[in-house]
Amino acid sequence: MNVVITGASKGLGKSIAKIFASNGHNIYMCSRTETTLYKTLEELMTGFPESIVKARPFDISKKEEAQAFGKWILSLDIPIDILVNNAGSFEPGSVYNEPDNTLENMMAVNLYSAYHLTRTLLPKMMEQKNGHIFNICSIASLQAYPNGGAYSISKFALAGFSKNLREEMKSYNIKVTTVYPGAAYTDSWAGSSVNPKRLMKAADIAKMIYTASQLSAQACVEEIILRPQPGDL
């Protein structure tokens, strides 16, 4: 299978890339930071030589770059079996005190990137009458919490996009899965006072996504919700 992943240079995206590559699937990925992206590319190519792994840097919070990444994928003339809309960002704050443009920034990274990339790739997938789209939302898509502000708003919006897409794509045999992960330990938690054992592992979410992708054509996992065993932070 060919797997397209955004925000794949570290954290959850990297874990998703690794589990698919380790099972012999081909990876086509992007992220905003060129140095970490190519480091991950080298790691995957070395660790999983049986898989094709390609990467290009794009800042897909910008409409033109999200579309450019999609056009690059289309130029490869490959079946698009799986699309993982993982790119995202978190800026803390509350509606009443977060800096101006926080909402615009969060919507661009957490919603518009997925929207514009998916729209670019959908005609190919609809022509195939096959495929699976995973939209990486958040527990914050389900329950607002203090200091969540624009981030939570943007993740609620991404969940709405995902639910709408699920209904639209049924007749094209394209599966859509909305993923709601709670706190998982990634580089963003490094140096914090939170004990890593209090959080899930990024590989936990990746395993669930991979498993959902392996079901028969007759089954679609519509939602995946994961939380740390003791509950949310």
Q: Which residues are catalytic?
A: 151
Sole residue written with tokens 């800096």: 99
Q: Alpha helices, DSSP H only, in the chain? A: 11-22, 34-47, 63-75, 102-107, 113-128, 149-169, 202-213
Report the distance separating Cα 150 and Cα 143, nearest Å. 13
- Cα–Cα distance for residue pair 152/158, rounded to 1 Å: 10
If you write DSSP's letter for every residue of 182-213 in order, what string do you get? --EE-GGGTTSSS-GGGSEEHHHHHHHHHHHH
CB–CB of 96/18 below 8 Å? no
For tokens 């990339």, the residue is: 117
Both tokens assigned to 88: 């995202």
